[in-house]
Amino acid sequence: MSALEDMRDQIAEVDVLLTQQAHELSVMLNDHRLEIFPPNAQKTLRPFQLNEVAHYLGVSSGYLKNLSLEGKGPQPLVTPTGRRSYTAEQMLEMRRFLDKNGRSAKYVPHRREGEHLQVISVVNFKGGSAKTTTTAHLAQYFALKGNRVLVIDLDPQASLSALHGFQPEIDRNESLYEALRYDDDRKPLSSLIKQTNFPGLDIIPANLELQEYEYDTPLALAAKDGAMGGLFFGRLDEALAEVADNYDFVLTFRRRRAFSSPCIRRCLT
Ligand SMILES: Nc1ncnc2c1ncn2[C@@H]1O[C@H](COP(=O)(O)OP(=O)(O)OP(=O)(O)O)[C@@H](O)[C@H]1O
Ligand SMILES: [Mg+2]
C-alpha cells in the first residue's frame, strides 16, 4: 500500500471515529436536556401584580382596582390578603375591554392603516455584548405593551429560542433558512412561526441549519452575478411580506460570526 493510500485510510478512520463520537455526544446532550426539560413541558409565564398591569396599560392602580371591585373586565386572582394579579392573557383582554368601553380606543396599540411594520435588528460585531438579552427584553416588553411581535432567531446557537422553550436538539424546529433557501424546498414563512409563552409574541426558532445559508448564499451569488442585494435582502423582504399584516414589530439579531461571512459582509456594506 502506498503512503498516500495509507494516509487516506487513516483519515477515513478518523472521520468514522469523529462521527461516532459526535453522535454519542448528541445522545448524551439529549438525555441531559430531557432530564431537565421534558419535551412536552410547556413554558409558563408568571402572573402580573395589579401595579405592574397598571404600568403596562398606562392607567392608575386605583382605576384598575375599582374595575375589579365593580366586577368589570377580566377578573384578577385575589389572595386572602387582597393582592390582585392578572395573567398576561387577561392583560390583553383588559386592553380590549377598555377600548370597547372607554371614550377612545387607545389601549390596543396595533398599527393602523398606513403605519409601517417596524423591523428592528440588534447587531453588534462583538460577542457577549447582550444581543440576545436585548432582543429578548425588547420583544417581551413590546408584547406585554399589547403589540403583536415576531422575533426571528438568526443565531445557530439558538439561545433565544431556548429561552422560550424551543430546544433545537430535541424539537427539530425549522428555522428561517427554510423560507430563504435557494432550492425548490423553500417554505412559506408562516409555516415556521411558533407561539411562545408570552401572548402576542411569536418566534421563528433557530437551528444549526441557519449556518447553511452562509454557505449557500455565496454559491447563489456566483451563479446569479450582480443580483447580490436582491438575493439576500430581497428574499427576506419577500418572506416577511407574507406575514407582515399580522405584526407590529419584527425583531432579529445576529451574533458576530455571521459577519465573518464575506457574502453577508459585502451585502451589508
Ligand atoms: N444589562 C446586563 N447586565 C448584566 N449582565 C448582562 C446584561 N445584559 C446581558 N448580560 C449578560 O451578559 C452575557 C452575554 O449576553 P448575551 O448572551 O445576550 O450576549 P450576546 O451578544 O447575545 O452573546 P453571543 O455573541 O455569544 O451571542 C449573558 O450572560 C447575559 O446574561
Ligand atoms: Mg447571543
pLDDT category at 225 given cuts 50, 70, 90 is: low
Rounded to the nearest whole angstrom, what is the distance from the C-alpha of residue 163 to the centroid of ligand 1?
13
Residue ID of nearest Cα to ligand 1 atom 9: 130
Long-range contacts made by residues 97-104, C-beta under 8 angstroms, separation at least 24? 97/72, 97/73, 98/57, 98/59, 98/73, 101/72
| Assigned fold of 48-101 | Multidrug-efflux Transporter Regulator; Chain: A; Domain 2 (1.10.1660)
Residue 120's pLDDT is 93
pLDDT tens digit sequence for 184-216: 888 999 999 999 999 999 999 998 888 777 777
- At 259, the pLDDT band (50, 70, 90 cuts) reads very low
Which whole number is the average pLDDT over 228-257? 79
* Protein residue whose Cα sits closest to atom 2 of ligand 1: 130
Angle separating helix axes 61-69 and 50-57, nearest 10 degrees: 110
Domain ranges for the chain: 48-101, 110-268
- State the closest ligand 1 atom to the C-alpha of 124, by its place in the atom list counted from 1: 21
Distance 262 CA to ligand 2 centre (A): 21
Which is the closest atom of ligand 1 to the Cα of 127? 25
Contacts (Cβ under 8 Å, ≥6 apart) of 94: 53, 57, 64, 73, 74, 86, 107
Query: Is pTM, for the whole model, over 0.85?
Result: no
Q: How confident is the model at residue 144, as a pLDDT?
A: 97
Percent of the chain with pLDDT over 70: 87
Pocket test for ligand 1, best of 132, 133, 153, 252 (most atoms within 8 A of CB): 133
- The domains spanning 48-101 and 110-268 adopt the same CATH topology: no
β-partners of residue 150 are 202, 250
Q: Report CA 92 to chain centroid distance, whole Å.
A: 20
Distance 231 CA to ligand 2 centre (A): 25
Q: What is the pLDDT of residues 57-109, one digit of tens each?
A: 999 999 999 999 999 999 999 999 999 999 999 999 999 999 999 777 799 99
Residue-level pLDDT at 150: 97
Distance between CA atoms of residues 251 and 39, nearest Å: 26
pLDDT at 264 over 60: no
**At 261, is the secondary structure helix, strand, or coil?**
coil
Residue 160 Cα to ligand 1 middle (Å): 11
Interval 159-190: pLDDT, tens: 999 898 887 766 778 999 888 888 888 899 99
Residue 1 has pLDDT above 70, yes or no: no
Find the mean pLDDT for residues 250-265: 57
Q: Are 46 and 77 in contact (CB under 8 A)?
A: no
CATH fold group of domain 110-268: Rossmann fold (3.40.50)
pLDDT score recorded for residue 44: 86
Q: Whose CA is nearest to atom 7 of ligand 1?
A: 130
Concatenated DSSP letters for 191-213? GG-EE-SSTTEEEE---TTHHHH
The band of 229, judged by pLDDT with boundaries at 50, 70 and 90, is very low
What is the residue with the minimal CA distance to atom 3 of ligand 1? 130
Position 196 scores a pLDDT of 94
Closest CA to 55 of 19, 86, 31: 86
Cα–Cα distance, 237 to 20 (Å, whole number): 40
Give the residue-averaged pLDDT of 214-243: 72
Tell me: pLDDT of 156 over 50.
Answer: yes
Give the three-state DSSP class for 112.
Answer: coil
Q: Which ligand is nearest to the CA of 130?
A: 1
Q: Which residues have any ligand 1 atom within 6 Å of their CB?
A: 127-133, 155, 255-256
**How far does the centroid of ligand 1 lie from the alpha carbon of residue 68, in Å?**
39
* Bridge partner residues of 81 (DSSP): none
- Ligand 1 centroid, distance to 81 Cα (angstroms): 38
Measured CA distances, 145 to 29, 41, 57, 139, 228 (Å): 37, 26, 7, 10, 38
Residues 36-61 have pLDDT tens digits of: 766 666 788 999 999 999 999 999 99
Instruction: Answer yes or no: is pLDDT of 113 > 60.
Output: yes
